[in-house]
C-alpha cells in the first residue's frame, strides 16, 4: 500500500507541472492506463522506496467496452447483359458481364421437346471461377432446336447465401444442312441448282459467290430466300464461261428466334459462249484455213468437219483461234463446226458450236484469150468445174484492184479503152458457199487497144455494136453511149442459125413488120434489117422479157440469126436508127 501511495504522489507532482488547461483529462487517461496495466500484470510490479505524500485515493474507473457490430448482407446484381456469342448445330456459347460481388454463377436451361413445346428449367452448370464470363454448352444439344437459358449470380458469405435476379435468353442451334446440292442445268447465261428437302426448314437461304475476270471470287451474298416447298433455283443473267459458287442453307424460325445451317455448297460453271464469228480465212486448192473469234474463259476449242452425206468428224483440239485443214479436195464443199470448252476440276464444260459452210478453192482460170473491137477488150476463158462465177478486176494507178464485174459466164467485154494505153486485168474464179465467196488463184494479163476500128473500119457518129459472146448490144449516138441492153442472138450450136459477125449496115427499117421463114410468120413492132439474108434487130415478145445470159445456147431460145431485143430497148434504138447506120457484130 505504501508503494501505491508513493506512486500516486509522484503522479500528482508531475501533473502539477503540466499546463492547467489539460491536466485533468490527461490525468484521467493516465489513471485508466495504469489501472489497465495493473489488471493485466499485478504480480510483476516491484516495490520502490521514495518520499511520499498522502493524498486522497481517487475513485476506481471501470474500463470501456464497445457495443457489438451487425455485418450487412450483400445481394449480388444480375449480369448487365446475357447473350449468345456463337451457335453451331452441336453447341451454344453463352456470354455475360462479370458481377463484382458474386462468388458463383448458376446457369439453367429449358429444352424444346419433339412436339415443339418448352420444358422446365434445370441447372446445367455452376461456375465458381469469377474470371470466367462465357460457357460452351455441348451436352445433350440437338441441331435446329430451341433452348432457353437463365443465369443467376450467387454470393456465399459465411453462412449466408444470396442470389441475384435472373437474366434469360432464348436461342436456337443451327439446323442440319440439306443432304445434297447439285447443278441441275446450265446454259450460256444461267445455272439451275437443286437440293434435297429438309424437314426442319422454314425457308432456304441461297447465297452466291462470283468469279471475276482474274479468277478471284467474291464473298458469298444472299440472292434468294426460298419457301420450304422449293428445292430448285434458276439463276439467270450470268456470264458465259464463268464459275459461280452456290451455298444452300436451311433456315428454321420458331417464334422470335431463328437460325440457319452452315450451308452446303456446289460449284457451277456457265457454258462457254459460242464463237461469235467463224470465217474462211483462206482457201487454196489444197487447204482451207478457218478462223474464229476468241471466247472468254475458254480453255481450248474443238474443230469438226463434214462433207456432203458424211457425219461430223473431229479434226483437232487447239488453244489457237485458227485451224488449217490440209486434207481436202479441190473445189469441194465442206461444213466446219467449232466449239469452245472450259476445264474446271478436270471436267470439260462445252459451249454451243458455230458452223460454217465453205469450200476449197476452185482451179485458177486458164485459156484466157483477148480480142479488141472498137477500143473494147473482149476476154474469154476456159470453164472451171465447180466454179460459181468469175470476178474481173482492173489494176488502178495506186496498185489496188478495182472490181469491174462478176459473171457466171466465160466472157467479159470491157468499156471503151484509151488508145495505146496498157491496162492490167485479172480474172479469178470463185465459188459461193453460204453467201461467201471462195476464190481460186487469179489469172493476170495486159490489154492494149491499138486501133479505133472494127474489121479494119473506123466508126463514128451513131452506130450499134452487138457482142454475141456476152449477148449485149450497145448503141452510140453522136459518139456517146446511148443505150445498153441484153439480147438473144442466133443459136450457138447451129452454124446456119448463128448471127453473122462483121461490119454491117441497116438496110431496112420498118414498124410494124412481118417476119416470115420456112416454118414461121410473125409480126413485130420494130424491124431493122442489116443483112441481105434476113438478119435484123427486132422485138421478140415470145422471149417473155428474158434476154441475155446464155439463152442463145438453148435451141428453143436462140434465134435464126436475128438479134432479139426487149421491146422498150428496140423502140429507143429504132427512134435513133437510120438506113445505112453501121451495125457491128463480133
The answer to whether 397 touches 472, Cβ cutoff 8 Å, is no
In a domain, 72, yes or no: no
Averaged pLDDT for residues 51-55: 32
Q: How far is CA 435 from CA 304, 307, 325, 356, in A?
A: 21, 18, 21, 11
Considering 15-24, 58-67, 121-130, the range whose residues carry the highest mean pLDDT is: 121-130
Please tell me whether residues 105 and 151 are part of one structural domain: yes
Please tell me whether residues 94 and 114 are part of one structural domain: yes
Averaged pLDDT for residues 27-48: 32
Provide the pLDDT for residue 470.
97
Edge-first strand order for the sheet with 278-283 is 278-283, 288-292, 322-325
Averaged pLDDT for residues 430-454: 92
Among the candidates 125, 143, 172, a domain finishes at 172
Average pLDDT, the chain: 89
In a domain, 69, yes or no: no
> Does residue 19 register a pLDDT over 90?
no
Please tell me whether residues 8 and 117 are part of one structural domain: no
In a domain, 239, yes or no: yes
> Does residue 35 register a pLDDT over 50?
no
In a domain, 537, yes or no: yes
In a domain, 393, yes or no: yes
Among the candidates 416, 436, 451, a domain finishes at 451
Q: Picking from 31-40, 144-153, 214-223, 229-238, which range would have the lowest pLDDT averaged per residue? A: 31-40
Please tell me whether residues 578 and 466 are part of one structural domain: yes
> Does residue 21 register a pLDDT over 90?
no
Provide the pLDDT for residue 67.
52
Provide the pLDDT for residue 47.
32
Above pLDDT 90, what percent of the chain? 85
Please tell me whether residues 344 and 418 are part of one structural domain: no
Closest CA to 426 of 467, 379, 386, 470: 379
Please tell me whether residues 525 and 557 are part of one structural domain: yes
Provide the pLDDT for residue 29.
35
**Structural domain of 468:** 455-585
Span 533-546, pLDDT tens digits: 999 999 999 999 99
- The C-alpha cell at 503 is 461490119
In a domain, 177, yes or no: no
pLDDT tier, 434 (very low <50, low <70, confident <90, very high otherwise): confident
Provide the pLDDT for residue 465.
98
Please tell me whether residues 191 and 97 are part of one structural domain: no
In this prediction the pTM is: 0.64
Please tell me whether residues 353 and 475 are part of one structural domain: no
Span 337-367, pLDDT tens digits: 999 999 999 999 999 999 999 999 999 999 9
Among the candidates 224, 245, 269, a domain finishes at 269
**Omega before residue 512 within 30° of 0, cis:** yes
pLDDT tier, 188 (very low <50, low <70, confident <90, very high otherwise): confident
pLDDT tier, 41 (very low <50, low <70, confident <90, very high otherwise): very low
In a domain, 489, yes or no: yes
Whether the CA torsion 401, 403, 404, 409 is positive or negative: it is positive
CATH number where 380 lies: 2.60.40.10
CATH number where 534 lies: 2.40.440.10
pLDDT tier, 290 (very low <50, low <70, confident <90, very high otherwise): very high
> Does residue 63 register a pLDDT over 60?
no
Provide the pLDDT for residue 27.
30
Please tell me whether residues 497 and 573 are part of one structural domain: yes
Please tell me whether residues 382 and 439 are part of one structural domain: yes
Tally of domains within the chain = 6
Please tell me whether residues 373 and 354 are part of one structural domain: no
In a domain, 71, yes or no: no
User: Which residues have C-beta within 8 Å of that of residue 400, sequence separation ≥ 6?
Assistant: none
Please tell me whether residues 241 and 342 are part of one structural domain: no
Amino acid at each position: 500500500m505504501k508503494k501505491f501511495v508513493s506512486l500516486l504522489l509522484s503522479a500528482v507532482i508531475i501533473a502539477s507541472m503540466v499546463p492547467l488547461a489539460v491536466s485533468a483529462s490527461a490525468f484521467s487517461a493516465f489513471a485508466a492506463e495504469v489501472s489497465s496495466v495493473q489488471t493485466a500484470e499485478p504480480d510483476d510490479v516491484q516495490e520502490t522506496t521514495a518520499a511520499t505524500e498522502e493524498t486522497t485515493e481517487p475513485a476506481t474507473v471501470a474500463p470501456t467496452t464497445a457495443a457489438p457490430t451487425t455485418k450487412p448482407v450483400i445481394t449480388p446484381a444480375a449480369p448487365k447483359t446475357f447473350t449468345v456469342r456463337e451457335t453451331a448445330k452441336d453447341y451454344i456459347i453463352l456470354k455475360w458481364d462479370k458481377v463484382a460481388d458474386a462468388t458463383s454463377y448458376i446457369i439453367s436451361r429449358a429444352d424444346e421437346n419433339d412436339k415443339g413445346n418448352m420444358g422446365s428449367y434445370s441447372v446445367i452448370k455452376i461456375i465458381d471461377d469469377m474470371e470466367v464470363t462465357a460457357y460452351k454448352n455441348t451436352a445433350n444439344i440437338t441441331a435446329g432446336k430451341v433452348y432457353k437459358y437463365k443465369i443467376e449470380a450467387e454470393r456465399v458469405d459465411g453462412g449466408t447465401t444470396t442470389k441475384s435476379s435472373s437474366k434469360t435468353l432464348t436461342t436456337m442451334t443451327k439446323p442440319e444442312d440439306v443432304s445434297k446440292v447439285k447443278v441441275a442445268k446450265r446454259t450460256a447465261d444461267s445455272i439451275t441448282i437443286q437440293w434435297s428437302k429438309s424437314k426442319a426448314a422454314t425457308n432456304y437461304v441461297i447465297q452466291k459467290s462470283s468469279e471475276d475476270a482474274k479468277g478471284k471470287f467474291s464473298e458469298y451474298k444472299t440472292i434468294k430466300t426460298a419457301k420450304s416447298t422449293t428445292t430448285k433455283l434458276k439463276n439467270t443473267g450470268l456470264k458465259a464461261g464463268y464459275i459461280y459458287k452456290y451455298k444452300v442453307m436451311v433456315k428454321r424460325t420458331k417464334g422470335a428466334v431463328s437460325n440457319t445451317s452452315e450451308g452446303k455448297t456446289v460449284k457451277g460453271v456457265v457454258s462457254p459462249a459460242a464463237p461469235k464469228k467463224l470465217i474462211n480465212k483462206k482457201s487454196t486448192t489444197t487447204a482451207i484455213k478457218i478462223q474464229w473469234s476468241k471466247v472468254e474463259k475458254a480453255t481450248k476449242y474443238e474443230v469438226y468437219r463434214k462433207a456432203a452425206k458424211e457425219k461430223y468428224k473431229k479434226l483437232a483440239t487447239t488453244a489457237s483461234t485458227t485451224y488449217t485443214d490440209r486434207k481436202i479436195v479441190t473445189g469441194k464443199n465442206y461444213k466446219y463446226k467449232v466449239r469452245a470448252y472450259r476445264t474446271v476440276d478436270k471436267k470439260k464444260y462445252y459451249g454451243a458450236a458455230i458452223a460454217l459452210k465453205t469450200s476449197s478453192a476452185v482451179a485458177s482460170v486458164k485459156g484466157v484469150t483477148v480480142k479488141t473491137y472498137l477500143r473494147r477488150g473482149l476476154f474469154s476463158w476456159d470453164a472451171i468445174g465447180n466454179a460459181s462465177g468469175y470476178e474481173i478486176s482492173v489494176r488502178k494507178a495506186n496498185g489496188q484492184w478495182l472490181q469491174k464485174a462478176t459473171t457466171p459466164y466465160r466472157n467479159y467485154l470491157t468499156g471503151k479503152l484509151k488508145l495505146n494505153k496498157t491496162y492490167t486485168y485479172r480474172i479469178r474464179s470463185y465459188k459461193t458457199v453460204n453467201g461467201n465467196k471462195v476464190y481460186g488463184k487469179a489469172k493476170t494479163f495486159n490489154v492494149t487497144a491499138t486501133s479505133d476500128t472494127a474489121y479494119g473500119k473506123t466508126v463514128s457518129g451513131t452506130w450499134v455494136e452487138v457482142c454475141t459472146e456476152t449477148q449485149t448490144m450497145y448503141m452510140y449516138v453522136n459518139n456517146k453511149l446511148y443505150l445498153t441492153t441484153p439480147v438473144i442472138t442466133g443459136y450457138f450450136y447451129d452454124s446456119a442459125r448463128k448471127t453473122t459477125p462483121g461490119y454491117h449496115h441497116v438496110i431496112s427499117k420498118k414498124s410494124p413488120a412481118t417476119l416470115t421463114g420456112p416454118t414461121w410468120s410473125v409480126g413485130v413492132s420494130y424491124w431493122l434489117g442489116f443483112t441481105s439474108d434476113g438478119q435484123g434487130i427486132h422485138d421478140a415478145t415470145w422471149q417473155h422479157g428474158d434476154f441475155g445470159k446464155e439463152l442463145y445456147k438453148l435451141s428453143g431460145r436462140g434465134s435464126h440469126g436475128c438479134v432479139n431485143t426487149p421491146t422498150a430497148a428496140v423502140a429507143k434504138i429504132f427512134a435513133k436508127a437510120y438506113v445505112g447506120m453501121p451495125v457491128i457484130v463480133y
